[in-house]
Structure 1
Amino acid sequence: MTLISLMSLAVAAAEETHGEEAGAFPPFDPTYFASQIFWLILSFAALYFLMSRWILPRIGGIIEERRDRIADDLDVAQQVKTEAEETRTAYEKALADARARAHALAAEAKAEVDREIADETAEVDAEIAAKSEEAEKALSEAREKALAEVRTIAASSAAEVANHLAALSLTDKDAEKAIAAMDKD
């Protein structure tokens, strides 16, 4: 069945249910089919002509422009990413160089401090050795002086003991001579 025959059946069914007094719905009235089809074809052709000549080319141009802009943006993003990677690599290299220099400076400073400590330790050791030598010399002199005084004290004590126990009259000089004679033997 065709569209026209279906429409005529619909019109006929509508007439039977409503009678003649209501009349047919104008779009379903077969007398207006020719003018309706003419205007449908004319409207469709005008709409098709407008769409194909102005609207679709503009939409296509807009889509192409967006596609080009997106491609350009992706290229710029890739360049920025590459530059960021290069910058990060350069930063990491600079950071590693700075760390290496810091470690070198620290090692150099430590070596210099160690040298200064060693020099100061050597100076202090030399001072201590000199003072120790002076102290030993002073101690040796004090020992000899004390020994000399011990002889004098021993001679005077011996003279007193002899004078007191033996009732002799010995002088300190005589006692010193006697002690000196004993040291020679």
Structure 2
Amino acid sequence: MATETHGAEHAAAAVSACTDSHGSAIGMPQLCGEWIPNQVFWLVITLVVIFFVLSRIALPRIASVLAERQGTITNDIAAAEELKRKALDAEAAYEKALADAKAEAQAIAQKTRDEIKGDLDAALAKADEQISAKAAESAKAIEDIRASAMGAVEEVAKDTAEAIVAALGGKADAKAIAAAVASRVKG
């Protein structure tokens, strides 16, 4: 209790030292010279308490959050690198498959072109053979027509010559008319 009395006396003395004769404070009490040791004491106590609270509670939590965040970032970067590597591998596999598919498509197209060309050549050869056969048949038919036409022309020429001679009032000799028409037809 003596300590409380002494503390109360000291505070009363400090208050009386920083007040004027009417009991009102002179200026700012924080700047009163009598109160400065008390303020420094409580400032040191407050700073020590804040330091211990920060160092024992807040800073370890902040450090663990930062470490966790750093671990997450490191894991994410490693996962991203792994995914990038897998993507590059997949892209290389895709490019290889695409190149193989293009080569196979070209081979199939070339094989198909060769088959079509072979079929076309066979069809053309068959068509040429048929055309040659038809041309030979047509040439024979034309020759037959020409021969029959020449025979018909000779016959018509003989009949016409005989009719002309008869119309002129003469008597036509069949052998002479036939010889004259034959010599004219041959050229």
Q: 1:61 to 1:167 in 2, by over 3 A?
A: closer
Matched with 1:132 is 135
Q: Is the 8 A contact 1:162 1:168 kept in 2?
A: yes
Give the AA of the match of 2:139: E
Give the AA of the match of 1:125: D
> Given the alignment of the two structures, is residue 60 of structure 1 paired with residue 63 of structure 2, yes or no?
yes
| TM-score calculated relative to the size of structure 1 | 0.71
Farther off after superposition, 85-94 or 145-154: 145-154
Q: 1:32 to 1:157 in 2, by over 3 A?
A: closer
Structure 1 distance, partners of 2:116, 2:49, is 97
Give the AA of the match of 1:23: A
| TM-score calculated relative to the size of structure 2 | 0.70
Matched with 2:147 is 144
- TM alignment of 1:1-185, pairs within 5 A: 20-21=21-22, 22-24=24-26, 25-157=28-160, 159-160=162-163, 167-168=170-171, 170=173, 172=174, 174=175, 179=179
The gaps in structure 1 that reach 5 residues or longer are 1-14
Q: 1:149 to 1:19 in 2, by over 3 A?
A: same
Q: 1:142 to 1:32 in 2, by over 3 A?
A: same
Structure 2 distance, partners of 1:167, 1:41, is 171
Cα drift, residue 91 of structure 1: 1.8
- Compute the RMSD of aligned alpha carbons: 3.1
Matched with 1:9 is none
Number of equivalent positions: 165
Q: Is the 8 A contact 1:27 1:33 kept in 2?
A: yes
Runs of 4+ in 1 over 6 A off after TM superposition: none
Matched with 1:7 is none
